[in-house]
Amino acid sequence: MTAVPLPARRALLLIAALAGLALAVFASVAFGSHPTSPADVLDVLSGTAHPDTATVVESRYPRTALGLLAGLCLAVAGTLMQGVTRNPLADPGLLGVTAGASAGIVTAMAFLGAAGQEGAVWWALPGALLAGVLVHVIGSAGSGAGPARLVLAGAVVSAVLTAYVQAVTLGRPQVFDSYRYWVVGALGGRDFPVLWSVLPPAAAGLVLAVVLAPALNTLALGEETSAALGGNPALTRSGGLLAAVLLSAAATAAVGPIAFVGLAVPHIVRALAGVDARAQLLFAALVGPTLLLAADVAGRLVLRPQELMVGVVTAFVGAPALLLAVRRMRGGV
């Protein structure tokens, strides 16, 4: 049996990924805690739906758009991090982004009077960015800088910021009441202004990732080989980490911490796209939103008319993915 050439195989997989994403977007708009059907969505799009049905369907547009953006950001960030650190268990939380966003929100609520989802975004975003930059500075300073030191720096910064968050929320119950709705991770309850707030850093991170993709291929060969081929390993690593921080900070600020998307998707896209970083980033941008939207739809349907937050669903689904990744590492794959 003749093997399918790699370009043709990637083209077929790309078409399948696009179809899966389109199906996930349609399902996100069509299904929810309030019963509607695909036919209702088509009526809304054509302008012939009942006003009540149109209101229900249109109310799902913001969460679908946020699911697209957050899934893309987390998946691409995870792919970048695993490529730059050469750690198959790396995810956006490794750089302290989640802990930084949490610290920013708690600080704003406790001491600056911030309230509401939009107010939380404005403080979660700088908190996440500052934490990511701090981890990079600590992990890259002095002699012995490298992926292992970066992981340790992320663990230290995350531990300190998590302790700070716990101390503030335990001492101020009113802050905890507001914070706990954000910390679970959800697409519901947000509107388009939240999306516009995080779009600039997300776009900047995505552009930087695309620009660095060719250099990431040479970095994967090793620092000495990359330098011999004319690359700058230190600059490539710093740029990749900056892109990952921007992307994961935007996603975390908008929808809260969502686990396992940034961890599981890179393993999926490596199986689909191979070792080419450019192809990996492209597939990550498609697979990440598909998985996040599918998890959100499942959370709306499993307890209808109640909803299960998407952060809980991804945790249930992502745990087997983590176990599989660990088994593959032990098997030397």
Yes or no: say if 83 and 219 are a contact pair by the CB < 8 Å rule.
Answer: yes
Domains of the chain and CATH, by start: 6-330 (1.10.3470.10)
Distance CA 25, CA 28 (A): 5
Yes or no: say if 231 and 215 are a contact pair by the CB < 8 Å rule.
Answer: yes
Distance CA 94, CA 276 (A): 23
The first and second tokens of residue 85, run together, are 């650190």
Residue with token string 């009441």: 177
Query: Residues 88-131: pLDDT tens digits?
Result: 777 877 778 888 988 988 888 888 876 655 666 778 888 888 88
Yes or no: say if 25 and 293 are a contact pair by the CB < 8 Å rule.
Answer: yes
Distance CA 317, CA 154 (A): 25
- pLDDT recorded at residue 1: 44
Yes or no: say if 101 and 253 are a contact pair by the CB < 8 Å rule.
Answer: yes
- pLDDT recorded at residue 293: 95
Distance CA 328, CA 57 (A): 42
Query: Residues 133-177: pLDDT tens digits?
Result: 888 788 776 665 566 777 788 889 999 999 999 998 888 887 887
Residues of the chain with pLDDT below 50 are 1, 332-333
Euclidean distance between the first and the last CA atom of the chain, given in angstroms as a whole number: 26
Yes or no: say if 248 and 158 are a contact pair by the CB < 8 Å rule.
Answer: no
DSSP label of 142: S
Q: Torsion-angle region of residue 290: left (phi > 0), alpha (psi -120 to 50) or beta? A: alpha
3-state secondary structure of 81: helix
CA 309 to each of CA 252, 267, 269, 293: distance values in angstroms, whole numbers, following the listed order: 15, 24, 25, 12
Helix axes 173-183, 116-140, angle to 10 degrees: 80
- pLDDT recorded at residue 289: 96
Picking from 173, 124, 134, 171, the residue whose alpha carbon sits closest to that of residue 154 is 134
- pLDDT recorded at residue 333: 43
The HSE-up count of residue 128 (CA atoms within 13 Å, CB side) is 32
Residue with token string 């900070």: 249
Distance CA 257, CA 101 (A): 9
- pLDDT recorded at residue 206: 95
The helix/strand count (H/E) of the chain reads as 14, 0
Q: Which residues contact 196 (CB under 8 A, 6 or more apart)?
A: none
Residue type, position 308, single letter:
L
Q: Which residues contact 138 (CB under 8 A, 6 or more apart)?
A: 153, 156, 157
Q: Torsion-angle region of residue 142: left (phi > 0), alpha (psi -120 to 50) or beta? A: left
